[in-house]
């Protein structure tokens, strides 16, 4: 799968579905999308990191967060 951003091709990313490379909610949504479809996702905490938190140089996700 490739990420999509109309403004910059440098922001594209690739991942393999069902390989635990992205959060579960993103994986599940992308698998159901049609080729060429663009979507805005709202992902419930249980499909993000649940009651855990995630921090790295790009993003900080507090526990029990809904992610857009």
pTM for the model:
0.69
> Does residue 36 sit within a domain?
yes
Averaged pLDDT in 10-residue chunks for the chain of 68 residues: 54 83 91 92 94 87 93
Q: Provide the domain limits for residue 18.
A: 9-61
Bridge partners, 43 (sequence order): 67
Position 13 scores a pLDDT of 76
SS3 54: strand
> Does residue 68 sit within a domain?
no
> Does residue 30 sit within a domain?
yes
């Amino acid at each position: 799968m490739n990420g999509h951003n109309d403004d910059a091709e440098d922001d594209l990313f690739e991942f393999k579905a069902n390989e635990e490379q992205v959060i579960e909610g993103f994986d599940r949504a992308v698998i159901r999308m049609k080729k060429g479809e663009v979507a805005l996702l709202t992902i419930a905490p249980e499909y993000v990191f649940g009651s855990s938190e995630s921090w790295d140089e790009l993003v900080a996700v507090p526990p029990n967060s809904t992610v857009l």
